[in-house]
């Protein structure tokens, strides 16, 4: 089987075990990176969802009625963090 590294094709059957291990580890790292990017996208979506829910609930409280809608979720998130 051939493998391309830096635009050069190599016969993988001629690689020593150490080089083969490096290639496998690099592939695992790339796979993990893609998985983590997808996870961060999910977190962004869920964060937006809960920001909206917080803003809606704050609108239903006396305290929330005094806050501008755009700041309600941000201020609540800051209070929770502190």
Question: pLDDT tens digit string along 19-74?
Answer: 999 999 999 999 999 999 999 999 999 999 999 999 999 988 866 566 566 555 56
Largest CA distance in the chain: 73
Per DSSP, the three-state class of 7 is coil
Name which of 61, 82, 43 is nearest 72 in CA terms.
61
Specify the pTM.
0.59
Count of alpha carbons within 13 Å of 82, Cβ hemisphere only?
Answer: 5
Question: With contact defined as beta carbons under 8 Å apart, do 27 and 12 qualify?
Answer: no
């Amino acid at each position: 089987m051939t493998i391309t590294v830096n635009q050069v094709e190599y016969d993988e059957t001629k690689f020593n075990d150490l080089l083969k291990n490096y290639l496998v580890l690099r592939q695992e790292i790339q796979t993990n990176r893609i998985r983590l990017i997808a996870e961060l996208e999910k977190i962004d979506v869920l964060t937006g969802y809960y920001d909206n829910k917080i803003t809606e609930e704050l609108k239903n409280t006396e305290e929330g009625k005094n806050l501008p809608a755009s700041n309600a979720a941000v201020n609540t998130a800051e209070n929770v963090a502190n």
